[in-house]
Amino acid sequence: MVDKGTLEFCVRDVAFPAGKRSISVAASGGGCPGDAVIALLDLPERVYTSTDDLLCALGDPAYCAA
């Protein structure tokens, strides 16, 4: 699982809402660790609204809306 600090670094240049492709391109070109890029590439194709939304999609239930 990608931790919040790493994810925030990886998507620091992303303007939310953003699609999977935009997020993946920003992460892969911005010095994001390889395991985090792979996790982002494995996400379902949809629009994400925030880093919390990404964390939820990456499997961290603490960031999923109730």
Domain range enclosing 43 = 4-63
Q: What are the beta bridge partners of residue 47? A: 19
For 46, other C-beta atoms within 10 Å of its C-beta total 11
Q: How many domains are contained in the chain?
A: 1
Would you say residue 66 has pLDDT above 70? no
For 31-62, write each residue's pLDDT tens digit.
Answer: 999 999 999 999 999 999 999 999 999 999 99
pLDDT at residue 5 in the model: 95
For 9-27, write each residue's pLDDT tens digit.
Answer: 999 999 999 999 999 999 9
pTM of the predicted model, to two decimals? 0.89
